[in-house]
Amino acid sequence: MACVAADDAFVEYFELGSAAVKRGELSEAYGHFRAALIADPSSEPVKQLLAKLEAAGVAAAKEEGIDEIERELLDDGDDDDFSAGAAMPPTGGAAQADRIKTLAALGRGSSASKSPTDSSEPSVPPPAEPPSPNLDDGAKVVVVGGSTPVGQRVVKMLAASGLTAVVDDGSGLDGAQGVVIVSEAAGGAGGVPPSAMAALMARLPDEDPRGGGVRRVVYLSAHGVERTAQMPFALSNVFGQLDKLRAAEQEVALRAMDRIPAFSLVRVGKIAADGEGVQSLCELAPGDALQGEVPASAVGSVLAQTLTRAEVVNASFSVGPSTAAGVGAGVGAAALWSDEFLKLEGPEIYRRPLSGVSAEEAALWLREWGRGFLKAGQRLTTPIQVEQVTDGVLLRFKPPGAAYEDDDEGEGEAKWPRPRGVAGEDGALRIVAEASPAARVRVVRAEMGAGVSPKEMSEEAVIARLQRDLPQLEGARR
């Protein structure tokens, strides 16, 4: 079995662990970080992350089982080509895939690690209803880094929205339901440096089941934390500045997922000055995908709205210059903002305005177009089930090795029975045509339950085919 370079495996498992932290799957993150430590046993950041996770009690009960799997992965037996310094590859045959799944199951405490008849452990009652991330009317919000230009803007906008905004003076965060943290990297002098984040997060009071305590934490970070190998961000990371900022983001996510109902990571580039009272718009995108200069008023508005919107709960997203393209004339600022935050539901991975074709026509076309992925020669690398929906089509991903059925005779959906409303185990893509606020097509991830990873290669293939075929539809209509 071929080995993967240790550096490549380390990066892959570190990123998987970071993504699991952001989703709140701390036990799964523990498994990924342990795999990363196999690839690079000298990594101090990973050791520190594991120590934090162990302190939170997410892995102690599974330690012995994980060690057993690690020893097997590092064994120089006949079946594996590993040595003590080799990395655990992301793929590599059915046997290796099973071991990785077992490691993940042990990290999550999955029933996969027990026999079906194992009744030695007492039954665990279902978890209590999670506390609400919603802030009360007039709730206190502390802005850490409030002396920065963007921090001052946030304070004014929060006050205008009816919340009680307070600039943190180091005296304490008691009574706060929301906390906005402006990083030094984003806000400049007066912002919070990465080295101060651990102490700051330790100051946050826990959410109280009776309704008190911090309910939301919003951290203003910078573009490039997930693109350190790309220009121009590689230049900004010469001395590890972005790596430190990413570690600060993880401090927020770890603390929030352990004790606080919701967090949001907001990434910006250069913040430009603007006139008093200007409510500039900007563009939003999931993850770390944008770059460019944004007015302080736009950033302030995003941060203020992030405290109250449901789309940004436990999410990371970036802010860039607004294009306001494909929205339609006469649309108000509130509707424009709602349309931008809509991108974070799912999240959305593609949108395109329609030309000369109505949303109704495009929806009918999408339903038939989606069936094409079931035909020989047009299939994706991941098996799928095709389901028609009101405004388009749903491509539901199936586990590796599942049979692909040709849908030439319209029988594909019946061959994969699934109760309505039950989320898939491997995620899906919802491809829909919408008439409002303008005729367009959107592609949104769906059924992304805990632990589900995006099928990025298949997603790229779907979008590439959509970009190829939609102009043909529009040309035919014209």
pLDDT in tens, 128-184: 566 778 888 888 999 999 999 899 989 999 988 889 998 987 777 888 899 999 999
Instruction: Determine the Cα–Cα distance for residues 35 and 41; give it in Å rounded to an integer.
Output: 10
CATH node for 140-323+330-345:
3.40.50.720
> What's the confidence (pLDDT) of residue 143?
94
287-294 average pLDDT score:
90
448-474 average pLDDT score:
89
> What's the confidence (pLDDT) of residue 161?
87
Locate 226 and state its tokens. Answer: 């997930």
CATH code 3.40.50.720 region(s) in the chain? 140-323+330-345
Cα atoms in the Cβ-side hemisphere of radius 13 Å centred on 359:
16
| pTM: predicted TM-score of the whole model, two decimal places | 0.67
CB 299 within 8 A of CB 220: yes
Q: Which of 41-55, 285-299, 324-338, 405-419 has the lowest mean pLDDT?
A: 405-419
Burial class (CB in 10 A: 0-12, 13-18, 19+), 170: exposed
φ and ψ of 195, to 5 deg: -65, -20
The candidate with the shortest Cα–Cα distance to 32, out of 51, 50, 13, is: 13
Q: Which of 8-12, 68-72, 137-141 has the lowest mean pLDDT?
A: 68-72
Q: Which has more pLDDT, 95 or 202?
A: 202
Q: Which of 148-157, 168-177, 332-341, 356-365 has the lowest mean pLDDT?
A: 168-177
Q: What is the pLDDT of residues 211-237, one digit of tens each?
A: 568 889 999 999 999 998 888 888 888
> What's the confidence (pLDDT) of residue 132?
78
> What's the confidence (pLDDT) of residue 169?
78
Looking at the chain, the whole-number percentage of residues with pLDDT higher than 70 is 72
Instruction: Determine the Cα–Cα distance for residues 214 and 71; give it in Å rounded to an integer.
Output: 42
19-34 average pLDDT score:
77
